[in-house]
Amino acid sequence: MKLLRLLRVQELTYNQKEKRLASAIKNIVGSKPLNLSLYTLAFRHVSVSKEIKSGVKISNERLEYLGDAVLGTVVAEYLFQKFPYRDEGFLTETRSRIVNRESLNQVGQKIGLPKIVESEMDGRVPNSFKSLYGDTLEALIGAIYLDRGYYFCKKFINKRLINPFFDLDNIIATTTNFKSKIIEWSQKDNKEIDFELKSLDNNQRFKEFTVCLNIDGSSFSEGKGPTKKKAEQEAARIACEKLQITF
């Protein structure tokens, strides 16, 4: 089976629509699909899915779930390697700014998914599904992972998605710093805030800092962490949440 796929024997049996899909995939991914049915599935939105037995529908949602995980890992490693001196808080936050509905949706559109989606859905593309292309992009990543394996998929994500489409410098410049957000807020609203170190649990050299954020002299939120800086960030994060400060 695998040999037949590698020899691309199935290509001989493609109909017109399948030929179109295979060549569109080649444009996006850089090489022809081995198992085209995975890609057909990746473009099958739940709203046009077929019911194969009672309650079981075949749609791209399962591939989307898988692709979401693979994308998360590849981006995690990308940032891990690129920023050897940044802590995991920074990495996690930067990742969530890369992998989110809106940015994936934009990238999905830029690499040309709308045309394929339209063709695969026979023109019935809905306007109401805002994250359609982001979801489809994740499903496509799931299909590539199953079709070509982890390392091929990783290369696809790094070379054809992250490098050309994500402006990392810009993303990093705006990565949320809760402490600075709350300070900004206090200046605008003319409030007095300060971070007060409440306690330091120094048990057996394991430090836990507890920091209290006071607003106009009275305690407003509390954060804990292994460093003073992290405890302050945590206290500020909770305060931002309580105050419903948006970013």
Catalytic residue among 120, 138, 232, 234: 138
**Of 70 and 239, which has the nearer Cβ to its own copies?**
70
Binding residues for Mg(2+): 64, 135, 138
Are the C-beta atoms of 216 and 242 separated by less than 8 Å?
no
Cα Dmax for the chain: 76
Contact indicator for 22, 14 with CB cutoff of 8 Å: yes
Smaller CB separation from its own copies, 34 or 125? 125
Active site residue 189: no
Query: Quick one: tokens of 204?
Result: 């057996």
The residue among 17 and 62 lying less far from its own copies, judged by its C-beta, is 62
Interacting residues toward its own copies by CB under 8 A: 45-48, 56-57, 61-62, 64-66, 68-70, 72-73, 76-77, 80, 85, 87-88, 91-92, 124-129, 145, 150-151, 201, 203-208, 226-227
How far is 99 from 205, CA to CA, in rounded Å? 37
Smallest gap from Cβ 216 to its own copies, in A, equals: 30
Going across the sheet that includes 218-225, the strands are 193-201, 208-215, 218-225
For this structure, is 68 an active site residue?
yes
DSSP annotation of 222 reads E
The residues carrying an active-site annotation are 68, 138
